[in-house]
Amino acid sequence: MNLAILIPLLPFLGFLINGLGFRRIPKAAVGLIGTGAVLGSFAIVLSLFSGFTGTAQVVPVYDWFTVGDFNVSFGFQIDQLSLLMMLIITGIGSLIHLYSIGYMHHDEGFGKFFAFLNLFVFFMLLLVMGSNYLVMFIGWEGVGLCSYLLIGFWNKNPEYGYAARKAFVMNRIGDLGFLIGIFLIVARFGSLEFASVFPAAAQLQTGDAGLFWITFCLFIGAMGKSAQIPLYTWLPDAMAGPTPVSALIHAATMVTAGIYMIVRSNVLYTLAPETLHIIGWVALATALLAASIGLFQNDIKKVLAYSTVSQLGYMFMGLGMGAYTSGFFHVMTHAFFKALLFLGAGSVIHAMSDEQDIRYMGGLRKKLPITFTTFLLGTIAISGIPPFAGFFSKDEILAHVYEHSPLMWGLAVFGSMMTAFYMFRLLFLTFFGEFRGTHEQEHHLHESPLTMTLPLMVLAVLSVIGGFFNVPEILGGTAKLEQFLDPIYQYARQANPEAFAGVHLDHSTEFMLMGVSVAGAVISIIAAWVIYISRKSVPAPDEQVSGLQQVIYRKYYIDELYDAVFVKPIQALSRFFYSVVDKGGIDRFGVEGVGRFVKGLANEFRLLQTGATGFYVLMMVTGIAVILVYSLRSLIFG
């Protein structure tokens, strides 16, 4: 048996053990099993990674089924892209499992939580390891299920149940796009296997109409899972789940599935420049919209959530430029620093006795030194300050954007300035100044246990050095990631070599671009410093917010808009169909109408049965007369 099969199998076993026996297994064992399963997978991934020769390999698991001439096998694709994703999922996954041991310690659903978390890792691994689109789709929907279960984990709160359903249904809309994309692929290529679709696609022309629809439908799927306009509103609400879930699912892994899918299908996208164009603009709009909402949010997790939506926008922006590696690089670095920030936020919430509003925090750096230090590093990384991880990945994307369109670049830089501002606003309000919470909370403040701080420290290190995986040549690096991932673009390169010519900017322009974005970030940081440290201002209570700020704080009323435009009309329509069409129309007039008609007719005819002999004789004679006249009509009427 191939070792690769064990990678998803271990978390699945963990799910079975903890899921079936969560009431009987002691907590210590639950944590050990849950974390151990993912750690075991990580070890196997590492060994596969180190022994990887550079040639992609398909590991067949079993022949799934055949319908007509259409055969689907269940197999795993082991190549550069899936290996990196597996490293992220199992690596960060292990850290977050470890963290959860401490974070969820007091929760009565401890075992259930670990079971769901393991199940998520299983499906996420299927998603990235699948050797065809159908296995990917199974993972895709499977992670959606786990997301649902974990968002609604604290199901006694009705709001959380609502958020969970919203996430699932909104994802379903995207999944419908994915599904139709799959149908289009089958109709066009007769297979769903990557190994047969991609070489066949490489023979096609750039701008092929069929490919446009395929890539566009797949992108709709990506919009849902990776929270792009218009399907992004579920992600901020998804923060209802326990914080480790937000870190793992709604920041580091699941939400990047859309990017993974597009990078995986790079040959299709390279041949569909119109789709790339659409992706670029959707991504830019998402990045800016989400960043602007993030400016005024007061819930520590909501800020991070909007930041995630915005950063996902940057990743898609990279893809939209055809710079797949840059987009993917940002997936990696973002996984490091955003997981770190969420876990840090979790540590804060833990210390604050479940308080999430930053208006009631402040001055936490003394009480939570490790959390503060690591959170600071994460904040610097996301703000794009060199030489931290975020700088390299974001800068690469920005360079590609500039080459494509300086206007888009300008907007993207503006977005990254907002990023630096809201992140430092968050940092300052949380960790600096005076404590603004209750005495009880203050009394309770404590640094988290080692199971929680250890993952923070590891992720902090990665956030600092993560950028060095792909230092561009201009900065004296060798673009290792670029070279490593190169083979997965083989078919795309073959089909359209120009798309892979790289950045054509001269060095001075590139340095200028970097300088501008770094300067922008620094200006934002200074602005945040002035407002929240020097002037010590604290965001106003909800009811005092007004004007434009109110509009932004209320997330531009998009949720209300969707409710009015989609949810309410669908509900009204469903009531109309039931009470008017079904009950009123079909049943009342159709079915019961027939009944009434027959009954009425019978009632009339019944009157003829009078029982009076004279009447019967009369009717008989009349009848005979009529028949006689009819038979002799030719004689009578000539």
Partner 1 sequence: MPILTTLIFLPLLGAIGLLCLPDSARPVFRWVTLVLCALHLALSSWLWLSFDKQLIGYQFTETFDWITLTLGQFGVISIDYALGVDGLSLPMVWLTSLVMLVGAVSSFEIKTKEKAYFSLYLLLTGTVVGCFVALDLFLFFLFFEFMLLPMYFLVGLWGGPRREYASLKFFLYTLAGSVFILLVMIALYLSAVDPAETALSVGLVKDRAMITDQVLDQVHLAISQLQVDPAQLVHTFDLRYLSDPANYVPESLLSTMAGHEIFGMSARLLAFALLFIGFAVKLPMVPLHTWLPDAHVEAPTPISVVLAGILLKIGGYGFFRIAYELFPDGAVYFAAWIAGLGVLSIVYGAFNALSQNDLKRMIAYSSVSHMGFVLLGLAALTPEGANAAIYQLFSHGILSPMLFLVAGVIYERTHDRSIDGYRGLATPMPSYAAWTAVAFFASLGLPGFSGFIGEFFSLMGAFNSTYVPVWMVVAGGFGLVLGAGYFLWTFQRVFLGKTWTMHDTSVLTDLTFREKAMLVPLGLLSLAFGILPGTLFSITEGYVMEFLKKF
Which residues make up the interface to partner 1 (CB under 8 A)?
63-70, 137-138, 141-142, 145, 148, 152, 155-158, 160-162, 164-165, 168-169, 172-173, 175-176, 179-180, 182-184, 186-187, 570-571, 573-575, 577-579, 582, 586-587, 590-591, 595
Task: Considering the complex, state which of residue 151 and residue 300 has its C-beta at the smaller distance from partner 1.
Answer: 151
- In whole angstroms, the minimum distance from the beta carbon of 51 to partner 1 comes to 30
- Beta carbon of residue 144, minimum distance to partner 1 (angstroms, whole number): 8
C-alpha angle 158/298/257, rounded to 5°? Answer: 70
Helix residue spans in 405-506 (DSSP H)? 406-431, 439-444, 450-465, 480-485, 490-495
Q: How far is the CB of 506 from partner 1 (least distance, A)?
A: 48
Cα(54)–Cα(57) distance, rounded to whole angstroms? 9
The minimum distance between CB 265 and partner 1, in angstroms, equals 19
Pick between residue 54 and residue 68 the one whose CB is nearest to partner 1: 68
Smallest gap, in angstroms, from Cβ of residue 598 to partner 1?
Answer: 10
Cβ pair 101, 147 in contact under 8 A: no
Smallest separation, CB 581 to partner 1 (Å) = 8
Q: How far apart are CA 402 and CA 386, in angstroms?
A: 19
- 10 Å Cβ neighbour count for 204? 18
- Compute φ and ψ for 272, nearest 5 degrees: -125, 70
3-state secondary structure of 357: strand
Which letter does DSSP use for residue 193 in this model? B
Total Cβ atoms within 10 A of residue 352: 25
Cα–Cα distance between 31 and 346 in angstroms, integer? 18
Minimal distance in Å, beta carbon 354 to partner 1? 17
Nearer to partner 1, 442 or 592 (CB): 592
Nearer CB in complex with partner 1: 65/615: 65
Cα 63 to Cα 74, 194, 524, distances in angstroms: 6, 16, 56
CB closer to partner 1 out of 540 and 581: 581
Q: Which is nearer to partner 1, 442 or 582 (CB)?
A: 582
Nearer to partner 1, 119 or 377 (CB): 119
CB contact set of 53 (below 8 Å; sequence gap of 6+):
none
**Shortest gap between Cβ of 488 and partner 1 (angstroms)?**
25
Give the pair of three-digit tokens for residue 629.
Answer: 């006249």
Structure tokens at 214: 């395929």
d(CA 159, CA 136): 31
Q: Which is nearer to partner 1, 125 or 389 (CB)?
A: 125
Beta strands in 375-514 (DSSP E): none
* Pairwise CA distance, residues 118 & 447, whole Å: 27
Tell me the closest approach of the beta carbon of residue 211 to partner 1, in angstroms: 17
CB of 174 to partner 1, least distance (A): 10
Closest approach of Cβ 510 to partner 1, in Å? Answer: 45
Rounded Cα gap, residues 261 and 454, in angstroms: 32
Kindly tell me which of 120 and 388 has the beta carbon lying closer to partner 1: 120
Report CA-CA distances (Å) from 282 to 206, 228, 278, 292.
Answer: 22, 7, 6, 15
* Nearer of residues 172 and 444 to partner 1, judged by Cβ: 172
SS3 helix, strand, coil % of the chain, rounded to 5?
75, 5, 20
Residue 188 or 404 having the CB closest to partner 1: 188
- Between CA 260 and CA 124 the distance in angstroms is 11
| The token pair that represents 531 in the structure block | 């407002």
